[in-house]
Amino acid sequence: MLKRSALLACLLSTTGALGAPLPKELYKDLTPGPYLIKIKGMLTHACGRAIQAEFSRHPMITKAEADFEQQTVVITVKANGRLSIAELKGILKRASKRMRLSVYEVDDIRYMPSGR
């Protein structure tokens, strides 16, 4: 019984209780599919357009849609593709340079199994 409780506690701590999103620190790579990424530092609609443009240029991303009002970007990693967190941060760094601002930061990442 104690082993089952320990196993359950371990599983809940790595997958999130009751389907809660995983902290961004647990992602190493984004595998194929759609993701909602909360961004810190978007100051104007132009920031959202710059972020969307930079994500759209990446060969592993098939779709990118920024939402300034929600401070988010929804991306879709292509089938058989991977996007590392380092690449994601690099994309945001290039977008911030386009806007001549400090680097945008990732606040949260959520996999969206059913799309948007």
Are 83 and 58 contacting, i.e. CB atoms less than 8 angstroms apart?
Answer: yes
pLDDT of residue 95: 96
Average pLDDT of the residues of the chain: 82
pLDDT in tens, 7-28: 334 433 333 333 445 455 567 8
pLDDT of residue 28: 84
Topology (CATH level 3) of domain 24-111: Alpha-Beta Plaits (3.30.70)
pLDDT of residue 19: 42
- Short-list 83, 79, 78, 80, CA closest to 109: 83
- Short-list 47, 65, 57, 52, CA closest to 103: 47
User: How far apart are alpha carbons 58 and 103 in whole angstroms?
Assistant: 18
User: How far apart are alpha carbons 24 and 96 in whole angstroms?
Assistant: 20
Q: Do β-strands 83-84 and 29-30 pair in parallel, antiparallel, or remain unpaired?
A: antiparallel
